Amino acid sequence: MQRTATLVALILLVATATSALQAAQPAKRPPNPAYAQIKDDPSLPRVLLLGDSISIGYTVAVREALAGKANVHRPAANCGPTIRGLEAIDEWLGDGKWDVIHFNWGLHDLRYKEDKQQVPLPEYEKNLTTLVERLKKTGAQLIWCSTTPVPEGVSPPRKNDDVIAYNAVAAKIMKDNDVAVDDLYSFALPKLAEIQKSANVHFSDEGSKVLAGQVAKTIVEALGEKK
């Protein structure tokens, strides 16, 4: 009888310890739907979105807006700064044919680390030029997406004056390479109070849908030109 009681007590002790351990572990986040693998409809053109968390935020809504019009893909990753782009661009492009590539780098490049930008402007210009040259080799219709505005008080530190300067450099590169521009900066600027989070570079869920409408519109126009 005593042996049975001891065994029961031991089982209860193990069960309690296991429950406590499970409770202490952080809950796993559900997979981001923006990272979902898309099964292509072979009758539709293929579109690739490249960009940081701003583009991640509008990816699903762009897919919904272009349902039945295009297969919309993106890497299962934050594309980060141009230095990350240079490392991973071949992987992100893969072996398939792209009809339209809508792309952006900048928000991570101009982020401050130890009182200077992560990727200073001259290096950004060089890196972005190299990336555009690589993207042009795909034969896709390219669309550069300007970096969206930065409000005051964001962390990690960023300055909107830098956004303007980096966008200006990018605009010159796109003009020199005959690349179309989706000026999401100018599109978002007058709407920031309604669509952007406070002291945050990111947008509300509804704000991301607003951006998605502009992105989808620009892609549809590019697909029409490609036809």
Report in angstroms the alpha-carbon separations of 122 from 118, 126, 169: 12, 6, 9
In whole angstroms, what is the distance from residue 174 CA to residue 111 CA? 22
Does the pTM of the predicted model rise above 0.85?
yes
Residue 156, amino acid: P
3-state secondary structure of 77: coil
- Give pLDDT, residue 31: 84
In whole angstroms, what is the distance from residue 74 CA to residue 47 CA? 8
Count other C-beta atoms under 10 Å from residue 45's C-beta.
22
Domain segments of the chain: what residues?
Answer: 33-226
CB–CB of 95/68 below 8 Å? no
CB–CB of 204/174 below 8 Å? no
Question: Computed over its alpha carbons, how large is the radius of gyration of the chain?
Answer: 23
CB–CB of 156/202 below 8 Å? no
Q: Which residues pair with 112 in a beta bridge?
A: 117
pLDDT of the chain, 227 residues: tens digit per residue = 555 555 545 555 544 544 544 555 556 778 899 999 999 999 999 999 999 999 999 999 999 999 999 999 999 999 999 999 999 999 999 999 999 999 999 999 999 998 899 999 999 999 999 999 999 999 999 999 999 999 999 999 999 999 999 999 999 999 999 999 999 999 999 999 999 999 999 999 999 999 999 999 999 999 987 65
- 1 contacts: CB under 8 Å, gap ≥ 6: none
In whole angstroms, what is the distance from residue 124 CA to residue 101 CA? 20
In whole angstroms, what is the distance from residue 123 CA to residue 82 CA? 9
CB–CB of 157/205 below 8 Å? no
Q: Which long-range contacts (CB under 8 A, 24 or more apart) does 165-171 make?
A: 165/121, 166/106, 166/109, 166/110, 166/121, 166/124, 167/106, 169/121, 169/124, 169/125, 169/128, 170/106, 170/128, 170/144, 170/146, 171/144, 171/146
CATH number of 33-226: 3.40.50.1110
Max intra-chain CA distance, the chain: 88
